[in-house]
Amino acid sequence: MPFQFAIYYLYDKSLKVESTSILLANKDQLSQVTSKPDLDGDDNWLEIKWPTRKEPEKTVPAKVMLFGDSFKDLVVKKNLLILGKDIWKKDESRGVRVKKKMLDTNNKVEAKKTRLHSLAGSGVSVPKRAFQRLNRSRITIFAQELAVLVFTKELLAESTLTGKSGRGGPPKKQLDVEKVQAITGLQFS
């Protein structure tokens, strides 16, 4: 039996998480429970060791609800079971959930792309909400933050306004002149 723990449904209708070592049945012939067992039926009851002080060899009937290797995970699933949740249903993998979330996000982004702010009557646009949040305390900070909206940080790091590099280094890329003029022609307010 590869599992160390199990959720047991006892005859008194209680749920317990215990080691699989208490099973009296041949553990190698048991397999993972894939759906909710019939708790009212008379079949699939197993004997488990349930010692007490007075009866150290006592056994009780129980049904295995789920096997697992993590005691903590099984306790969580037992609590979900008590709340009436289906612990056997197959959850989507994390990858599927991430892809669905990305699709939802992409749809929201597409909807937000329509809300753009045009700079100084040019063909250059930036997201309206981001433009409204720019720091307007000083013109230099405003221009820097606006440049990051218009260009990427990476492009700004490897480019200059003229394309020339200072101190005789290798030439750099020149920033798009139309976009630079859109930033410099903007009224600061």
Q: Tens of pLDDT along 143-156?
A: 888 888 888 888 88
Give the per-residue pLDDT at 107. 57
Q: What per-residue confidence (pLDDT) applies to 143? A: 85
Torsion angle (degrees, nearest 10) of CA 148, 152, 155, 157: 50
Same domain, 120 and 181: yes
Characterise 123 by phi-psi region: left (phi > 0), alpha (psi -120 to 50), beta (else): alpha
Q: What are phi and psi of 65, to 5 degrees?
A: -90, -35
* pLDDT value at residue 124: 87
- % of the chain exceeding 90 in pLDDT: 17
Q: Do residues 18 and 71 share a domain?
A: yes
State the average pLDDT for the chain: 82
Check residues 120 and 99 and name the one with the higher pLDDT: 120
Structural domain of 140:
91-189
Q: Give the model's confidence band at 27: pLDDT under 50 very low, under 70 low, under 90 confident, else very high.
A: confident
* Number of domains observed in the structure of the chain: 2
Give the per-residue pLDDT at 112: 53
**105 and 77: one domain?**
no
Place of tokens 């606006």: 146
Asked whether the whole model's pTM tops 0.85, one would answer no
Mean pLDDT of 149-169: 84
Q: What's the CA gap between 33 and 77, in Å, rounded?
A: 13
CATH number of the domain residue 149 falls in: 1.10.10.2590
pLDDT of 172: 86
Same domain, residue pair 60 and 101: no
